[in-house]
Structure 1
């Protein structure tokens, strides 16, 4: 077992030095075209050619149950979403400097799910752009430069947002204006996660002030996905948010991964903690694969920022983007996907917990709805086992299940299938886990 920390892009990634795999003509073209920036899943990358619901199909006709990709949140190639995009593209798609009833109707629908204080929406194409803008707004309104994030957070890939994404850094650490705090876990804070996390934020604020940056914002993914999925106890974020506000900083809720009903209990992850953010960022599942993202913000904060710097996004909020996003909202509501996430997610969590009672290689089981983290550990020491996680991930591929990893050591299976997952598919996954673990030394 190795406790070497792993970057988010290194987890379950294809190694370009694998000469056997590079013999694949399509892979060779990919490597030559994209070079060092190419990131592919698995030791033997898969060429996918089609998808539907929770399943993807490769070039050889093999079907895979997708527990990996939370972008097609309401199901791969959902016909209602696809039809809405196609219809709008065939009618009109232009930049956001024209009036569009499609766009305004969507924004009103989106705002109806959020606290009433969050009245303005800035549409972007990616969560990275949304977080970048949120950070700029925080600096403009507080006059401070400092940010607090968790120790294995990921918030995007612009230059600015990469600075607050420690899990994306292969070498070095975050710059001085960024202070990390431990993920809200029992390993760091014992049984009182709420008090421990708040104290860590207090100390981070003091450190930023000592360094001369002050506190601009606490930026949190409210399911702490890249940290390893930490959701409970519900409400533990509230004292830390109050501490940030008392210190003059803002709270940015990154809902790119936990938003749109995935946690089951609530439509937004932050709602599980009974807090009201100053800004909310969202993306990925927003358009079910169509590039749609947004920042929702209190009007006074946006007005202060726009007094000195304007903002315009050519493709953010186009009619087609709004049509895609509206269709996603309609499908979530019409198909009861938030309730499904709660019910099927609860069933999965129950089954994993039951399995952990007889298999010591399974450690903590955490999460809410269809966002679950399952730790894989050395059965003798209970320490993280990234090597076991790698074996399980590749073993699940052999069982036609796709899944990824999270956490600082890459030992946490990150379970986030489409929200339309049914009971039969959940059981398929459970049996696949049992089969793979049964083949490995216990």
Structure 2
């Protein structure tokens, strides 16, 4: 290899051409003029031209670039275009030539003009979703497939980015870092990459490759749903003939800048590439060493470039990113990434076979060891006790006391390892087995090897094929001592852990993140074979297969949150846990008003189920006691209760009561509202988010009035009351003109679907008076907003200073137990009796009543109403900070723990930011938060968490929204 040429190429500054000189070149040679904007480049010079006829890119490079190299790039662009790959076209100069030789300031330069592909790169994007990572890998595969048969003399070139020259270039450039820890790190990483690559070099296929398909050189644009769509690939300056897998290694290295510290985030790119353009096993094994070598070349090259061209802002800006790439690339063992890459491509490391091993445990003891379930659904975990430090060891001790010995399970997702209010994936997957044996139990060496002591009571027995790590061991051998099979390794000091590792010298973690678990299992297999006990956890149910079963049997109109929902089977307070032990902050669940898994709910339901659960026709105390409790919460004059199962059933019953009492059937409802799914409640529901046909399928007895939305409605602000009431008058006048008897008016006293917007001042006072004057009854739908959730008021109608004729409620009444209620006056209740009796099979059952009373008790005992007022007020102030900071955050609505964040693209027009809201909610799920869009335009975060939510959770939620809104939605 001509090293002097390579060194020269890696040490050139950019050409010295001013914008004025570039404009002259364009006018003289292409007849084009317009505004120029410099585009970044390390060693070339690029200008974007905005001309009347369109946009173009002027590319200027040093004259010592071989003409054949530039001609090869032009030929490749045409070749790829013919195969459907989106690339720019090369434009001819006035002379008909595509490549010009010019002299500027005594510099011999080469000049070209290309089409400009509209869009942007993803270089500065703060978060790159897996779909985009996969798309970049797929693009790389498309280009490589298209170039597989492409040949040109200009492909045979000496280039600093050619990984075949990486080691020579690194050795030459290392002195730029002087003697420093950074230099040592780069040198060590490069040497390890060289050692890994050396046996693979002769097996790597060669072809023409782009060699720079990165976030910089792929052009994207957003569609209407705010999803990035590929527009084209640019910058063929590194086109050459080298190893095929080198192209993907460049792409993967660039993606590490977007990996948020986790190199396994690049796996979707590898999977997508391999699916389209399969890689050989040698290429898969070479990929990560090539990525690390690329990272080393990047940092050294940028440091060198700045030393010869300190004014190059492009190189200076990129340097921090390139060091980030290097840091991420060297943050995990090479072997782990090799295992992960092989696995994503459908390969596995050969299984570890341990033949002729001596059991670690005495044979007489092995059968006494009881395995202890410490997984997400373990019955040993109750009432959040997994949060206690040392809980797993305590549970092992309890089981060992009864059996004599106990152990945990390898490969289990431990709930005790989770964390809350934290965006990072918790390390919950156990790579070790913990055992509690009788004190003094002797452990035997399973194979011959060398004992290496690590710390006071830890060490590993390093054998030929595997190492055994033991922690919590007493009387271990001396450090460096040779050990024979069956020799005593030490004695159990009570609790100790055992772990296998196939990589000599690697100190493996005890627990790893679920996303890394499969790769780590390849390196740290189960110790079951040497323990002689069945200590492997059962694999989890396939979440995707389970979802398919749901879709095949459960009517699909009953939707689930998210396209790929986490598998949730456990909850505690204001958190939900997936089966891998990740905690999700629940900002959706107004049903679980007390929080999930509340011990009082467990006890009340269990006790009452053990005694009696039947229907309300039987005579039992709970139904009277609960009805009295509800009436004590209601306004004076309300003296009758109906118990039902849901808000839908409560509102349906309220409609029947209005019909029976008034003698009419016509009802006023409010636009953009939701009241339920039964035939009657669906008829009065007008939210097009819940039913796209809501406005076109209303029966003639439903008369919606304009939504009194003071933020987004037809009239805005607190002075809009009279404007909205005119529509109520118009509806009533129309009914009177047709001599139709009004039955009533149903309205949420706080506008729930819009995110908890307060109604205009005095709106319900005057509307109720008008309705009652027309002979109708007034129904307050408190299903979503009532029952203490608002903090300041127990009932939503209290904010408006009114008393309805009928109150409906459900949701948090039962903390998840199906429970709803209608409260009204005796004369209204008895009007229905004239039409026949009312009966709800499970409404008011003993279990439901006892749980309903327990909910009221706990809300009072734990101060949840006060919490809704105090923490809810803090919550709203934190959300307001988002409005002050981010233009997309339009307004905050609501109070207590019923809040709404309205997302808009324009604060004047209030154009809904619907697509952005969807992106935001999906991103919040990635960070460990459940939130969904609501409202007719699906642009509102309707925030209604359990009422036990803390300030810490509020801060985590708001800080996470702040983070996502800063990611360029």
Structure 1 counterpart of 2:697: 173
In the alignment, the residues of structure 1 paired with residue 814 and residue 738 of structure 2 have an alpha-carbon distance, to the nearest angstrom, of 40
Equivalenced residue count is 423
CA contact (8 A) 2:742 2:776 kept: yes
Deviations 1:86-124 (A, max 9, x none): 111111111111222122111111111111211000111
Unmatched 5+ stretches in structure 1: 4-21
CA contact (8 A) 2:905 2:912 kept: yes
Q: TM-score, normalised by structure 2?
A: 0.42
Structure 1 counterpart of 2:583: 63
Say if 1:234 and 1:265 are closer, same or farther in 2 by CA, change over 3 A.
Answer: farther
Structure 2 counterpart of 1:41: 561
| Off by >3 Å, runs of 4+ in structure 1 | 207-214, 232-236, 379-382
In the alignment, the residues of structure 1 paired with residue 763 and residue 951 of structure 2 have an alpha-carbon distance, to the nearest angstrom, of 31
User: What is the aligned-residue RMSD (CA, Å)?
Assistant: 1.9
Structure 2 counterpart of 1:12: none
In the alignment, the residues of structure 1 paired with residue 635 and residue 543 of structure 2 have an alpha-carbon distance, to the nearest angstrom, of 53
Q: 1:89 aligns with which of 605, 609, 620?
A: 609
Is 1:412 matched up with 2:934? no
Structure 1 counterpart of 2:904: 377
Shift of 1:440: 2.4
Is 1:151 matched up with 2:671? yes
SS of 1:291's equivalent?
coil
CA contact (8 A) 1:151 1:227 kept: no
Is 1:329 matched up with 2:329? no
Structure ranking higher on relative contact order (CA contacts 8 Å, 6+ apart): 1
CA contact (8 A) 1:197 1:240 kept: no
In the alignment, the residues of structure 2 paired with residue 412 and residue 75 of structure 1 have an alpha-carbon distance, to the nearest angstrom, of 23
In the alignment, the residues of structure 2 paired with residue 302 and residue 155 of structure 1 have an alpha-carbon distance, to the nearest angstrom, of 20
Is 1:395 matched up with 2:923? yes
In the alignment, the residues of structure 2 paired with residue 80 and residue 414 of structure 1 have an alpha-carbon distance, to the nearest angstrom, of 28
Structure 1 counterpart of 2:90: none
CA contact (8 A) 2:814 2:855 kept: yes
Q: 2:572 aligns with which of 35, 46, 52?
A: 52
Q: 1:79 aligns with which of 578, 599, 607?
A: 599
Shift of 1:368: 1.4
Q: Which deviates further from its counterpart, 319-328 or 309-318?
A: 309-318
Aligned residue runs from structure 1 range 201-212, under 5 A = 201-210=728-737
CA contact (8 A) 2:728 2:767 kept: yes
In the alignment, the residues of structure 1 paired with residue 734 and residue 577 of structure 2 have an alpha-carbon distance, to the nearest angstrom, of 50
Shift of 1:358: 2.0
Deviations 1:309-340 (A, max 9, x none): 21111211111000110010001111111111
Shift of 1:210: 4.5
In the alignment, the residues of structure 1 paired with residue 863 and residue 543 of structure 2 have an alpha-carbon distance, to the nearest angstrom, of 45
In the alignment, the residues of structure 1 paired with residue 807 and residue 588 of structure 2 have an alpha-carbon distance, to the nearest angstrom, of 24
CA contact (8 A) 2:705 2:731 kept: yes
CA contact (8 A) 2:666 2:744 kept: yes
SS of 2:612's equivalent?
coil
CA contact (8 A) 2:894 2:900 kept: yes
In the alignment, the residues of structure 1 paired with residue 861 and residue 843 of structure 2 have an alpha-carbon distance, to the nearest angstrom, of 26
SS of 2:623's equivalent?
helix
CA contact (8 A) 2:808 2:822 kept: yes
Say if 1:23 and 1:429 are closer, same or farther in 2 by CA, change over 3 A.
Answer: closer
Shift of 1:2: 7.7
Aligned residue runs from structure 1 range 182-331, under 5 A = 182-186=706-710, 187-191=713-717, 192-210=719-737, 213-231=740-758, 235-331=762-858
In the alignment, the residues of structure 1 paired with residue 551 and residue 873 of structure 2 have an alpha-carbon distance, to the nearest angstrom, of 41
Structure 2 counterpart of 1:351: 878
In the alignment, the residues of structure 1 paired with residue 630 and residue 543 of structure 2 have an alpha-carbon distance, to the nearest angstrom, of 47
Structure 2 counterpart of 1:14: none
Shift of 1:263: 0.5
